[in-house]
């Protein structure tokens, strides 16, 4: 009876006294964080000491450079849909995070960055390793805050996670002085509920939905442009139902890739400077343009004065700041993409646009004959980037997470990678275009999805920007697969020099080291391919190998990525050669 009485007693929350550093760790655990990426140093040492006691609950991955921590946290967030977390010390540790934070900001990746800072009494004195990281990070964070008292820590971190993940996601930074880490507090963690000045999800306006539906119902040549907003709101199913109901041809930004199966009959390809011929060309021939979860950046629009001027524009977007920023809209539907699509699908009528879809098919055939056939089946001895991607497609059946760096290989991968029922499977640096992103981001993605095949596709230039993260792979035994497409050039810049600067290859020729020896030094299985006949077997060996694997493929040195919309041109002026 006494035992039963004890069971019926209400649970009493026991508040514990602990240090600020311990409060940081316990706050992360309360938020459900089980993995962080970082690099220790003097100003963050108390937090690392607290991490030592919770190794079973909160795993820390030691990267080899703080920038690697941010990209790994990005890869983790993009693959999992959770908030990525990274941690660094003050001064150079904090400033080394900035590139990854800026990348996360422009690509809407939820991330919480925690930095150590000198003691509050030393702020503003140019103390050793003191840097105004709040001032530096303000333009590239969704929110940032400096903690100077231990009792501020739980509330600051609760607010940080709420802001990072809510509405349009993004990175936040919390800078914590060393005395705040050493100070004591009574720990009580309450998840943040919101604030009056911040409305992460606008209320859906049904009149706007009906106005948009009327335009779609009367359209003869509609075109959907979809971006990462579909993925961030987990609206893939709703999106597919929407486009199928009215038979709407749909084109994607590189951040939207994998939201819709690449072989879906309404998937008409990639938008942008190196996108597919049909969706770019027909953007200026559609009568209704429906943009969903994308921001009309310059790589998509080309010359804005000649972009879709003939079309009525509908924009589904969660961030009011993105509406009318670049392209004037006729109807803007503010809200979460999932909610907006559900409402819009109810209001549109079933329809077919066979003649309009046939126009896409004709241009697709032109692109195949003019570009794709040679890229995937080269008539020359040199290997092409496209046939490497095709081999990976064939052997993964579109069921892998693909991570890219930035450059020609990125555009080729986005153009030819195949995805089947595999959302959150394309991870790349879109808006900032950060070389060096791929290797650490692939580590983070593999940590998020250990059961999935994760393939990093990198150029020889970008690989050398963060190759030190091979040490992270060596220490943690993360079985990521790495493919370096080596053309001994900074390929994208070289392409521009060839086309627009009379082949004056200024500082784009790469004299590379022996990658095989470097990778072998980290204990990673490695292979080099220089001939076509060896490619498929090498890819197969990489994919079936249990541990990490490095595959170097020597590809054509001066191969160009087409189609291409030259800078300042209209999307209608896209070139096949």
Q: How many CA atoms lie within 13 A of 553 on its CB side?
A: 31
Separation CA 205–CA 333 (nearest Å): 7
Q: What is the pLDDT along the chain (577 residues), one digit of tens a residue?
A: 333 333 333 333 447 899 999 999 999 999 999 999 999 999 999 999 999 999 999 999 999 999 999 999 999 999 999 999 999 999 999 999 999 999 999 999 999 999 999 999 999 999 999 999 999 999 999 999 999 999 999 999 999 999 999 999 999 999 999 999 999 999 999 999 998 889 999 999 999 999 999 999 999 999 999 999 999 999 999 999 999 999 999 999 999 999 999 999 999 999 999 999 999 999 999 999 999 999 999 999 999 999 999 999 999 999 999 999 999 999 999 999 999 999 999 999 999 999 999 999 999 999 999 999 999 999 999 999 999 999 999 999 999 999 999 999 999 999 999 999 888 999 999 999 999 999 999 999 999 999 999 999 999 999 999 999 999 999 999 999 999 999 999 999 999 999 999 999 999 999 999 999 999 999 999 999 999 999 999 999 999 999 999 999 999 999 999 999 998 999 999 999 9
Catalytic residue status for 129: yes
Which residues are CB-contacts of 475 (< 8 A; sequence separation ≥ 6)? Answer: 62
Q: Does residue 178 have an active-site annotation?
A: yes
Class of domain 206-360: alpha beta
In the set 31, 66, 152, 552, the catalytic residue is: 66
Phi-psi region of 444 (alpha: psi -120 to 50; beta: other; left: phi over 0): alpha
Least Cα distance to 27 among 148, 157, 116, 151 occurs for: 157
Instruction: Determine whether 66 is an active site residue.
Output: yes
Domain extents in the chain: 2-187, 206-360, 383-554
Query: Quick check: is 128 catalytic?
Result: yes
Candidate list 30, 45, 82, 129, residue with the active-site label? 129
Annotation says 492 is catalytic: yes
| Domain 383-554 part of CATH 3.40.50.970 | yes
Classify domain 2-187 by CATH architecture: 3-Layer(aba) Sandwich (3.40)
In 309-417, alpha helices (H)? 337-347, 354-367, 373-376, 385-396, 408-416
DSSP β-bridge partners for residue 411 = none
Catalytic residue, candidates 16, 128, 373, 531: 128
Of residues 270, 411, 492, 542, which has the active-site annotation? 492
């Amino acid at each position: 009876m006494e035992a039963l009485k004890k069971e019926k007693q209400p649970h009493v929350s026991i508040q514990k006294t602990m240090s600020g550093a311990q409060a940081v760790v316990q706050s992360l655990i309360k938020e459900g964080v089980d993995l962080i990426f970082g690099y220790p140093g003097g100003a963050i040492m108390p937090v690392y000491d607290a991490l030592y006691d919770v190794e079973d609950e909160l795993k820390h991955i030691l990267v080899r450079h703080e920038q690697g921590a941010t990209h790994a946290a990005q890869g983790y967030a993009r693959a999992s849909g959770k908030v990525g977390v990274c941690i660094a010390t003050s001064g150079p540790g904090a400033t080394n995070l900035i590139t990854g934070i800026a990348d996360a900001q422009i690509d809407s990746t939820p991330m919480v960055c925690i930095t150590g800072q000198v003691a509050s009494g030393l702020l503003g004195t140019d103390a050793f390793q003191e840097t105004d990281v709040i001032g530096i990070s303000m333009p590239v964070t969704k929110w940032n805050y400096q903690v100077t008292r231990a009792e501020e820590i739980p509330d600051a971190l609760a607010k940080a996670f709420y802001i990072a993940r809510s509405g349009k996601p993004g990175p936040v930074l919390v800078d914590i002085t060393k005395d705040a880490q050493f100070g004591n507090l009574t720990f009580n963690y309450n998840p943040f509920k919101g604030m009056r000045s911040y409305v992460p999800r606008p209320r859906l306006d049904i009149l706007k939905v009906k106005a948009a539906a009327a335009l779609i119902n009367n359209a003869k040549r509609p075109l959907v442009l979809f971006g990462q907003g579909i993925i961030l709101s987990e609206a893939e199913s709703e999106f597919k139902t929407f486009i199928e109901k009215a038979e709407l041809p749909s084109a994607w930004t590189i951040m939207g890739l994998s939201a819709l199966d690449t072989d879906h009959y309404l998937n008409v390809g990639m938008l942008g400077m190196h996108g597919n011929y049909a969706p770019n060309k027909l953007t200026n021939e559609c009568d209704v343009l429906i943009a969903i979860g994308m921001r009309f950046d310059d790589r998509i629009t080309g010359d804005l004065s000649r972009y879709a001027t003939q079309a009525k524009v509908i924009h589904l977007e969660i961030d009011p700041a993105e509406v009318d920023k670049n392209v004037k809209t006729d109807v803007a539907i503010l809200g979460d993409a999932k909610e907006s699509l559900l409402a819009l699908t109810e209001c549109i009528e079933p329809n077919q646009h066979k003649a309009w879809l046939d126009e896409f098919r004709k241009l697709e055939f032109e692109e195949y004959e003019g570009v794709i056939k040679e890229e995937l089946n080269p008539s020359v001895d040199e290997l092409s980037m496209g046939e490497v991607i095709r081999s990976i497609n064939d052997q993964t059946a579109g069921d892998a997470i693909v991570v890219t760096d930035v450059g020609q290989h990125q555009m080729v991968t986005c153009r030819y990678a195949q995805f089947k029922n595999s959302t959150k499977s394309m991870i790349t640096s879109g808006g900032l275009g950060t070389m060096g992103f791929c290797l650490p981001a692939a580590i983070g993605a593999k940590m998020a999805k250990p059961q999935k095949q994760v393939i990093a596709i990198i150029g020889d230039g970008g690989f050398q920007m963060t190759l030190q993260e091979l040490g992270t792979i060596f220490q943690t035994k993360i079985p990521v697969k790495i493919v370096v497409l080596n053309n001994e050039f900074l390929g994208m810049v070289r392409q521009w020099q060839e086309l627009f600067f009379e082949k004056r290859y200024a500082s784009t020729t790469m004299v590379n080291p022996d990658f095989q020896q470097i990778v072998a030094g980290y204990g990673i299985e490695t292979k080099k391919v220089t001939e076509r006949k060896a490619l498929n077997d090498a890819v197969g060996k990489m994919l079936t190998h249990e541990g990490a694997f490095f595959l170097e493929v020597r590809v054509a040195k001066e191969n160009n990525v087409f189609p291409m919309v030259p800078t300042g041109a209209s999307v209608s002026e896209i070139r096949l050669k």
